[in-house]
Amino acid sequence: MSQRNVTAIVLAAGLSTRMKSKTPKVLHSLCGQPVLFYPIKALKDAGITQIIVVVHPLYKREVGRFFGLRPQNDTTITFVEQKKPLGTADAVKTALKKIPTHTKKVLILCGDAPLISSSTVKHLLQFHDHNKADISFVSAEFNSESELGRVVRSAEGKVERIVEFRDASVDQKNLTEVNSGFYCVEPALLKKISGVKNANHKKEFYFTDLVSLIQKACALKIKNCEEIIGINTRIDLENARKALQKKINQRHMLAGVTLIDAESILIDQQVHLDSDVTIYPGTYLKGTVSIGNSSIVESHCFISNSKLAQNCHIKQGSIIEESLLEEGACVGPLAHLRPGTHLKQKAKIGNFVELKKTVLGKNSKANHLAYLGDALIGNDVNIGCGVITCNYDGFAKHKTIIEDGAFVGSDCQLVAPVRIGKGSYVGSGSTVTKNVPAGSLAIARGKQVNLEGYAKKIRNKMGKKTEENIEPSKDCHGLQ
Ligand code: UD1
Ligand code: CA
């Protein structure tokens, strides 16, 4: 549904002093996206195609870089600078000249209120039309400790004005209906903003004062007060994150994903999970992650910006970053896939194995204690316990190529650049510095020498027990 006659203004030029941060609050991250992403998304999802964002000159480039570069479909996002943050009324005033002439309704949202839903945006527009109001805004019942603006009504229940918490009398502070900062206004009436004064505690021009300057103001009171959480402090940021995370997790559960102890699982906004995926407690899926049908991610895993196909199994405590896993790949427990890892179908990575910029072919496995970096490994390859690709010579990184069907025995070092040929064997404990031709056996280790009876000599020399008087250990019968 398109709302082509509606223009939205998003206020995002405040200095975020209460956040005590170098980063403007609208760019703080919330479930993987900047705070400002969410009100813009709610507007787009409600069909609003014309959005003006008011930004502070110091942050214009930063905010613009993030939102300006994204494909926006048919939504136009325009940025206007508010030279000094003189208050919300002043912020709206700076946007007025950018409002297209065909605009029939102006929506105003706060860039620091990320939980607004698209249905509330649509509802506000309908409510405004239905009441033939001059200005409408969303309100909610909050506890009296909230520091949001209070809605003051007449004895008959008509909205008279909004009074800011700091400027409110004791009686007004006890009012529990609060202002969300989401408004719908008749464009012609916005010129009354010039009548707003800054005679208040903060010496700011409050947009809320417009309510008392306009004839018919109506408040749409919503039940879900979480939607109006505004972020002024880090405590608000955390409260908003919790509420948003709950919504995200519920969305996945309703789409057929099992989350065991959902409250302990962090899933970023842009994560995609197919049905029948199961996630165990304490796992964090960060950034752009997608996981295919019936995959399992066990407890305390961290997966960022990665794609996992169907039927993958990630065991406890594994870390996967910027990697691609094909169908049926199995990882962990306690494995680390660093950026550039690609596991092909049914490849298997076991505990204490680290991979970086490495392709591991179909059905290949590295089950224990290995480091594979800058390696191209074919299908059906076995990487033994303790194998290391020595990919860095102190100056540059070099490639290791291991062809299909090769078997690399335990505790080998493969000194790159090096190629292990198709179907070849590398004997355990080898330090491989030369290419291994296909089908051959490479052994590159010191030869074993057995000096008969030499152990007794050593013991005598060291004053230790001879082998005749070593008592058999109770636990080691097999060695007798
Ligand atoms: C505002 C409302 C308050 C409401 C609350 C809801 C006013 C005066 N008060 O208070 O009634 O309950 O939101 O969250 O409007 N901004 C600018 N330029 C400025 C000042 C602010 O763009 O000069 C932006 C901020 O970046 C922010 C939004 O406007 O995104 C709201 O400003 P903020 O200072 O956070 O207002 P509140 O004190 O929260
Ligand atoms: Ca605020």
Give the pLDDT confidence of 266-299 residue by residue, as tens digits.
999 999 999 999 999 999 999 999 999 999 999 9
CA distances 112 to 135, 224, 306, 388, 407, Å, are 21, 17, 29, 49, 57
Three-state DSSP class for residue 33: strand
Q: Is 246 helix (H, G, I), strand (E, B) or coil?
A: helix
- Nearest atom in ligand 1 to the alpha carbon of residue 232 is 35
230 lines ligand 1 (CB under 6 A): yes
Protein residues near ligand 2, an ion, with CB under 5 A: 112, 230, 232
Domains of the chain: 6-228 (3.90.550.10), 235-442 (2.160.10.10)
pLDDT 10s digits, 128-186 = 999 999 999 999 998 878 899 999 999 999 999 999 999 999 999 999 999 999 999 99
Residue-wise pLDDT tens digits, 138-150: 999 988 788 999 9
The rounded distance, in Å, linking the Cα atoms of 420 and 414 is 9
The predicted model gives 112-117 an average pLDDT of 96
The span from the CA of 9 to the CA of 2, in Å, is 17
Residue that is written with structure tokens 């509802």 in the block: 123
Count how many residues are written for the chain: 480
Residue 477 has pLDDT above 80, yes or no: no
Query: 452: Cβ–Cβ under 8 A, 6 or more apart, which residues?
Result: none
| Residues 100-114 pLDDT 10s | 999 999 999 999 999
Q: How confident is the model at residue 418 (pLDDT cuts 50, 70, 90)?
A: very high
Q: Is 146 in the pocket of ligand 1 (CB under 6 A)?
A: no
Catalytic residue from among 123, 272, 300, 368: 368
CA distance readout (Å), 327 to 291, 313, 330, 382, 405: 10, 10, 9, 19, 20
Residue 109, beta-bridge partner list: 10
**Whole-number pLDDT of residue 480:** 43
Tokens 């409260």 locate to 239
Average pLDDT score over residue span 111-130: 97
State how far the Cα of 317 lies from the Cα of 410, in Å rounded to an integer.
Answer: 24
Residue pair 327/341 in contact (Cβ under 8 Å)? The answer is no
Q: What percent of the chain has pLDDT over 90?
A: 87
* Distance, CA of 80 to CA of 310 (rounded, Å): 45
Q: With 80 as the cut, is the pLDDT of residue 37 above it?
A: yes
Alpha-carbon span 436 to 443, nearest angstrom: 10
Range scoring the smallest mean pLDDT among 192-206, 341-355, 422-436, 459-473: 459-473
2-20 residue pLDDT tens: 688 999 999 999 888 899 9
> Per-residue pLDDT tens for 403-413?
999 999 999 99
DSSP letters along 136-180, please?
EEEEEE--TT--SPEEEE-TTS-EEEEE-GGG--HHHHT--EEEE
Mean pLDDT, rounded, of the chain: 94
Which listed ligand is nearest to 94 at the C-alpha? Answer: 1
pLDDT > 90? residue 462: no
Q: Tell me the pLDDT band of 191, cut-offs 50, 70 and 90.
A: very high
- Does the CB atom of residue 87 touch ligand 1 within 6 A? yes
- What element of type H or E holds 66? helix 60-68
Q: Which neighbouring-strand residues pair with 324?
A: 307, 342
Q: Are 364 and 377 in contact (CB under 8 A)?
A: yes
Q: Which of 346, 344, 307 is nearest to 330 (CA)?
A: 346
